[in-house]
Chains A and B, each alone.
Chain A
C-alpha cells in the first residue's frame, strides 16, 4: 500500500518535448512538495502546495508548472524540455507546513532529456 506514488518512474524524452509527472499520496497529508535532485545529490525545493494552495514557488523556470487538483494529488508539467532538466524529481508530502514529523517521499522520477 504505497504512501506516496509517482508515475512514471523513468522518463526519456527529446529536447523541446512537453511531459508530465504525476504524484498521489494516501497519507491524508495536507502539504505536498516537488523536489529536484541533481547528479550531486542536492535536494532542491521547487514547489509546495498546502491544501491545493501554492505556498512555495522557488526560482524555477516558468516552463515548470505544478497543479494540485486536490490535496492528495500534485502533478508537475514541464514544457519545452531542455538538457539541463535531466535529474531525478521527487514528490513528497507532510502533515502540514512546518510539521516536526518530517516528509515522506515518493520513489522518484528519473528524467533524461536527450
Chain B
C-alpha cells in the first residue's frame, strides 16, 4: 500500500530560525512530490513541488528530495509567525495515479 508519513507535531520553532519538516514515502516509483500549507479553517494551498533529487529553492522555502532514501523535506528560513500552519506532504506514484497524502505536520512559530 502506498503511504506517505509525516510527524504530526506540533513542531515549535522560534521566530527567525529554520523550520525543518520531513516526510517519507513508501512507493519507490513515486515521481513528483508536493508540499501544501493549510492554515486553520482554510484549504490546502500548494507552496512547493519537486521532481528531481536535490534542492529546489523558492524564496524562504527550500524543498529537498532524496529518492534513494525515499524522503522529502521542506526548510523554511527566517521563520515568521505567519508560517504557523499545518504542512501536508503529498507524493504522486505515477502518471495514472492520484496524490497520496501524509497526515500533515503542525508548525508553530513562536515570536
A contacts, CB < 8 Å to B: 33, 40-43, 45, 48, 56, 90, 97-98, 100-108
Contact = CB atoms under 8 A, between A and B. Distances in A.
24 contacts: A41-B38, A41-B103, A41-B106, A42-B101, A42-B104, A43-B88, A48-B98, A56-B98, A90-B43, A90-B44, A97-B96, A97-B98, A98-B92, A98-B95, A98-B98, A100-B31, A102-B34, A102-B46, A102-B49, A102-B90, A102-B99, A103-B44, A107-B43, A108-B43
Interface string B92-111: 10111111010110100000
B64 interface: no
B111 to A, nearest CB: 24
A37 to B, nearest CB: 9
- Of the four ranges (under 10, 10 to 19, 20 to 34, 35 or more), the interface on chain B belongs to 20 to 34
B32 A100 contact: yes
A33 B103 contact: no
B3 interface: no
Contacts of A42: 101, 103-104
B97 A97 contact: yes
A56 B104 CA distance: 23
A93 B1 CA distance: 24
Contacts of A101: 49
A100 B103 contact: no
B60 interface: no
Q: In this complex, which of B31, B43, B97 has the most chain A Cβ atoms within 10 angstroms of its Cβ?
A: B43
B55 interface: no
Interface string B24-44: 000000011010101000111
A21 to B, nearest CB: 14
Nearest to A98: B95
Contacts of B98: 33, 45, 48, 56, 97-98
A105 B44 contact: yes
A21 B86 CA distance: 25
